[in-house]
Amino acid sequence: MHLPGALVFLATLAPLASAIPVFSSPAAAASLPGGTSMTVEWKDDGTAPAIADLASYQLFLYSGSGTAPTQLYAAASNGVYTTGNSATVTIPVGVGGSTTNAYFFGLMSTATAGGTITTYSSRFTLTGMTGTFPAAVITANAAVTDTSPPATVNNVVDAGSASSTHADGNFGLAYTLQTGLTRYAPMQPVPPTAITKTATIPLNPTSAVQFATTFLSNPSAVTTLTESQTFSVSSRANTAATQSSPTPSNDMQRFLNRWKD
């Protein structure tokens, strides 16, 4: 008798669930004309982090390998999730060729706790394209056998680190999410006394690069404040006995004396 009530209770909670964005459009194997406006849409997939914990996003067009995608075009930058779960973009016809199922989108989201998470769309076709792919992309596309998207790349700070980050106040907010004349940078790490690692990893996730095609406006930030170091330093006196100065050699003077008139 209690089971139906439990199901109703769970159903009321379902709309409250939120998670990382996954693409719902364009669909797998879709054929879309290049150079025209298209709408890219995404929805929650039911896994952490919650979409409410994502602040902004960048949308890129990719091709090639699913393990090492090649970025072709920055379709949208500085997007925010508060405006909805879609973006309208236009892909220039010269960014690539008209190969079947050669394209896919990547949505790189920035989390408020720090870090990024990148999800990819299924592969689709752009028709009417006039460009060409690099040789490496052509080879990678030839090896693709289906339209499934590449794996999600999750570089979001974990919950424990996120709690610590929020405790840092202004210094805990990702630099790219800050506005105003004064920005805040986190505490810089202190080098160790010895190198022990044999394999290194970046301290921060990689970010996309978009080159300017026109003159940019002057930056709004005037001052950047870096969080003060909290480590301590101790010193001690040098107790080694002083050494006498070496006796200067007169060899050069004797050499010069030979040439006196």
Mean pLDDT of 136-147: 94
pTM exceeding 0.95: no
Mean pLDDT of the chain: 79
Tell me the range of 70-84, 159-173, 246-260 where mean pLDDT is highest.
70-84
List the chain domain ranges: 2-154, 159-212+221-226
Residues 49-76 pLDDT 10s: 777 788 888 899 999 999 889 999 989 9
How far, in Å, are 54, 70, 157, 163, 185 from residue 167 at the CA level? Answer: 18, 38, 14, 6, 14
Is 8 a residue whose pLDDT tops 60? no
Average of pLDDT values for 189-212? 74
For residues 157-174, give the mean pLDDT.
Answer: 55
pLDDT for res 205:
65
Cis check for the bond before 150: say yes or no (omega within 30 of 0). no
SS3 107: strand
Q: Which CATH superfamily includes the segment(s) 2-154?
A: Immunoglobulins (2.60.40.10)
Mean pLDDT of 91-118: 90
The secondary structure of residue 2, as a DSSP letter, is H
In this prediction, residue 203 carries a pLDDT of: 67
Q: What is the pLDDT of residues 112-130, one digit of tens each?
A: 777 788 899 999 999 999 9
Q: What is the pLDDT of residue 195?
A: 80
Whether residue 34 contacts residue 91, with contact meaning beta carbons closer than 8 Å, is answered with yes
The reported pLDDT for the residue numbered 115 is 77
pLDDT band at 168 (very low <50, low <70, confident <90, very high): low
Which CA distances in Å does 255 have to 121, 249, 258? 82, 11, 6
Average pLDDT over residues 243-259: 75
- Which of the residue ranges 43-52, 132-141, 212-221 has the most confident prediction, judged by mean pLDDT? 132-141
Q: What's the chain's length in residues? A: 261
